Amino acid sequence: MKRLLTRQNMIITAALLVVYIIVQVLLSTGIISAFYETNLILGGIGIIMAVSLNLITGFAGQFTLGHAGFMAIGAYFSAVMTVKWGMPFILSLLGGACLAAVMGFLIGLPTLRLKGDYLAIATLGMGEVIRVVLLNTKYVGGAAGLFGIPRITNWTWIFVCSVVTVLCIRNLLWSSYGRACISVREDEVAAEIMGVDITHYKVLAFVVGAFFAGLGGALYSHYYYFIQPGGFGFMKSIEYLVMVVLGGMGSITGSVMAAIVLTVINVFLQQYSAIRMILYALLLIIIMIFRPEGLMGSKEFSTAMFRRFERRDDRGSAGGQ
């Protein structure tokens, strides 16, 4: 208990609460319009998706292009649970996330033997297969999509879920499990020689990532009233991959920032809808050429950073005297 009540944790908790309350007040007074609220929700889902993908791709080093497939499973299963089985929302959320995790296990076990681009292309194929299977399942509406999902997702749900996601993945990574995952990324052979069961940790990262992607999907479907298989294609996976790479592979705070930055850019570009995608593409190319390691690299944004600045200032002033 004492270890939890450090100065840093208290600052972060207080900051989060302040952000939550400010946005909640702005929402209830109507200062944030429906358009911005949608983007707020999308940004939150982006954080969940990007951080969970970063666990797989950035930390465990397993390059996957099928993250939207897990999102689709979460979205569809949770929607089926609420609409067809009449379950409460919280159960649907967990159900969608758990099914995505189970699928992550079933898919991960055979495919994670593959390396690099082969894994990428296999997961791409997996995502497409999931999409086509949904497209051909009459029970969930086929190509027309699944209708009549109640809108339950709101700022509170999004906020709580993204904080829980970031916290869980951060704590996983700061544990011995996380260090094992990172060792797999750094050098598989060396990790194996040191006694790390690489398959175990790869699958672990994949399953946890899939779980949170499923959670993101469940939140998504309960915001939009209806979902279509086409919404979870290859482009969706790319959207989140871009967030991870832009934020920096192996930086959780980087992913969070990139999710927010890209959502804001998206809002800004809405005004120029004709050339929106052209500007987005140019931005991607330019950022990658000038900062290929992403905004944060593998560093984390933390209060310790500020402390370092403080110390540097102290030293600077001390030298001056």
What is d(CA 17, CA 4) in angstroms, rounded to the nearest whole number?
Answer: 17
Could you tell me the two tokens for 272? 């120029």
Nearer to another protein (CB atom), residue 119 or residue 181: 119
Closest distance of CB 312 from another protein, Å:
29
Closest distance of CB 63 from another protein, Å:
7
Nearer to another protein (CB atom), residue 173 or residue 244: 244
Give the CA dihedral 289, 185, 248, 3, nearest 10 degrees: -160
Closest distance of CB 97 from another protein, Å:
24
Residue 297 DSSP SS3: coil
Question: How distant is the alpha carbon of residue 118 from its chain centre?
Answer: 23
Closest distance of CB 189 from another protein, Å:
5
Nearer to another protein (CB atom), residue 97 or residue 203: 203
What element of type H or E holds 219?
helix 198-221
The conformational region for residue 164 under phi > 0 = left, psi -120 to 50 = alpha, else beta, is alpha
Nearer to another protein (CB atom), residue 96 or residue 127: 127
Nearer to another protein (CB atom), residue 19 or residue 235: 235
State the CB neighbour count (10 A cutoff) for residue 85: 10
From 44, 22, 93, select the one nearest 255 (Cα to Cα): 44
Nearer to another protein (CB atom), residue 15 or residue 281: 281
Closest distance of CB 272 from another protein, Å:
11
Closest distance of CB 228 from another protein, Å:
14
**Positions that interact with another protein (CB under 8 A):** 57, 63, 110-111, 113-118, 120-122, 124-126, 128-129, 132-133, 135-136, 143, 189, 234, 238, 241-242, 245-246, 249, 274-275, 277-278, 280-285, 288-289, 292-294
Sequence-separated (6 or more) residues with CB below 8 Å from residue 248: 58, 254, 255, 258, 293, 294, 295, 296, 297, 298, 299
Half-sphere exposure of residue 265, counting CA atoms within 13 Å on the CB side? 17
Nearer to another protein (CB atom), residue 41 or residue 126: 126
Handedness of CA 150, 235, 253, 25 (dihedral sign): negative
What is d(CA 183, CA 191) in angstroms, rounded to the nearest whole number?
Answer: 6
Nearer to another protein (CB atom), residue 5 or residue 189: 189
Closest distance of CB 127 from another protein, Å:
9
Closest distance of CB 128 from another protein, Å:
5
What is d(CA 282, CA 171) in angstroms, rounded to the nearest whole number?
Answer: 36
What is d(CA 186, CA 274) in angstroms, rounded to the nearest whole number?
Answer: 43
